[in-house]
Amino acid sequence: MARTFFKSATAAVSTALAGAALLFTAVPAAAANPPYDGCPAWALCVYQHEGGTGSKAIIVPPAAGGGSSIARLHQIHFLNGDVADNQVSSWINNSQCSAKFMDDPYGELHPSDLDFTPTWSWGAKGDYGTGSRTYVNDRISSVQFYCP
């Protein structure tokens, strides 16, 4: 009988330790997404906060050889539902296209160019939350793509 009790006690302790291990390993999974997370290939993702954090909007540029197009951010929403216009603090370009970021609130012919990433620069990033480029923060209203 003592042997059965010992086996039962050992099993209970093992089960409790395994449950505790699962509990503690699950905690990091509940943390916020890593910076610049979840931007698919052949897309430009803009983020609401600096460092590729906060809600994102996924913008798909033209296909290779598709020439140029302009994405107006007043027509694009972050995943949290907020309009992306004048709300972008960081971005990552996972496409082969160049992207010119403009302050162009009314779609005028002479927008103010704020930033640029050249073609074939997969993973290029822009961050305007800190440093010398904070004047760009929350000013981007459109993105012009050129896709060779």
pLDDT, tens only, 5-22 = 444 444 444 444 444 333
Pair 145, 98: CB distance under 8 Å: yes
How far apart CA 140 and CA 142 sit, in angstroms, is 6
Please name every residue paired with 102 in a beta bridge, in sequence order, or none if there are none.
Answer: 113, 142
pLDDT over threshold 90, residue 28: no
pLDDT at 23 > cutoff 80: no
pLDDT reading at 64 higher than 50:
yes
The pLDDT score that the predictor gives to residue 37 is 92
**Per residue in 31-48, pLDDT tens?**
567 899 999 999 999 999
The answer to whether 141 and 86 are in contact (CB under 8 A) is yes
* DSSP H or E run through 93: strand 90-93
Q: pTM of this prediction?
A: 0.75
Tell me the C-alpha distance between 139 and 148, whole Å: 27
